Amino acid sequence: MQFRRLYTSLSNSSRDPFLLYRNLKNPFAVFDHNPQFLSTPRILKKRPILVTKRLVSSFPAMADARRPAHVPIPPPETADKAELYRALEAAVGSPFSSGPLVPDPHPLIIVVSGPSGVGKDAVIKRLREVRENMHFVVTATSRGKRPGEVDGKDYFFVSKEEFITMIERHELLEYALVYGDYKGIPKQQIRDQMAKGLDIVLRVDIQGAATLKRILGKSAVFVFLVAESEDALVKRLIDRKTETKETLLVRIATAREEVKHMEEFDYVVVNREGELENSVKLMESIIDAEKAKVRQRTATI
């Protein structure tokens, strides 16, 4: 139906080569100087030479092809599928390629940020469980390992001297000194995983996101995670039971400032109370939509 509408409106234009399709049983006959073409009066009146040239020039493969003068195409309603396929191939003049029409999407870099306690770790942890072909970047840190933490999984634990050497060698995409300890994102890890075709997920605070935005610009996707309300965020922080009264106040004050930066991001995901799964689904939709973009982001680290 859609096709017919498009087709009719195109054929109403006197400048358009698709006029041929409307009036010929076998449009390709025009290239073979088939008498069938000559018997189509409307086309002859409508500047046939110009139209033919346009068609030929838009399908160079057809123009060059060596093919029989007349290719009978069986009626599609009754024809054998393979026979019809071969006849169409012969009429077009080149084999139908089974190669992909669209190249594989580029690996994505997804930067996830948002106020403390909003659920960044929770969303990323779940995303890791449900989605394949993603690499979740492990941050390097100069702070000591806490009980239960695993080197290479939770963080890459390095000494302060080693971290400074990494900075000097430009091995870090972004780094910060947080409460006397360095934290940074090793570039090589991202390069290695992107080379395997994996998408990269980076979890950073708002300042880190701002730095990455300056470095990566539009080549990465920036997602801002937010609670549905300040009230929900505060309750979530209280429930986590990881904060002192001082750090609670700092995190709340910081969150108020941080939400003002939402506009610098590409997407916002509202992580509603009790709806973690929906947030993860939305993250997946964002990734899928980015992968379906005609003009893909191309990140080079």
Ligand X SMILES: Nc1ncnc2c1ncn2[C@@H]1O[C@H](COP(=O)(O)OP(=O)(O)OP(=O)(O)O)[C@@H](O)[C@H]1O
Which residues on neighbouring strands pair with residue 19, listed in sequence order? none
When asked if residue 184 is in the footprint of ligand X (CB under 6 A), the reply is no
What crossing angle do the helices spanning 276-291 and 120-130 adopt, rounded to 10°?
60
**Of 56 and 252, CB closest to ligand X:** 252
User: Which listed range, 48-56, 131-139, 193-201, 270-278, lies at the site for ligand X (CB under 6 A)?
Assistant: 270-278
Q: Report the nearest approach of ligand X to the CB of residue 274 (Å).
A: 5
Q: Report the nearest approach of ligand X to the CB of residue 178 (Å).
A: 12
* Measured torsion, CA atoms of residues 58, 61, 63, 67, in degrees rounded to the nearest 10: -150
**Of 40 and 113, CB closest to ligand X:** 113
Distance CA 229, CA 64 (A): 65
Which residues on neighbouring strands pair with residue 135, listed in sequence order? 200
Q: Report the nearest approach of ligand X to the CB of residue 220 (Å).
A: 19
Catalytic site includes residue 146: yes
When asked if residue 275 is in the footprint of ligand X (CB under 6 A), the reply is yes
User: Which listed range, 8-16, 120-128, 132-140, 207-215, lies at the site for ligand X (CB under 6 A)?
Assistant: 120-128
Catalytic site includes residue 240: yes
Alpha-helix residue ranges (DSSP H) falling in the chain: 2-11, 19-23, 35-38, 41-45, 48-58, 60-64, 81-92, 120-130, 160-168, 187-195, 206-216, 230-240, 245-258, 276-291
> Do 160 and 180 touch, CB atoms closer than 8 A?
no
Catalytic site includes residue 169: no
Q: Report the nearest approach of ligand X to the CB of residue 224 (Å).
A: 11
Footprint of ligand X (CB under 6 A): 114, 116-122, 236, 240, 271-276
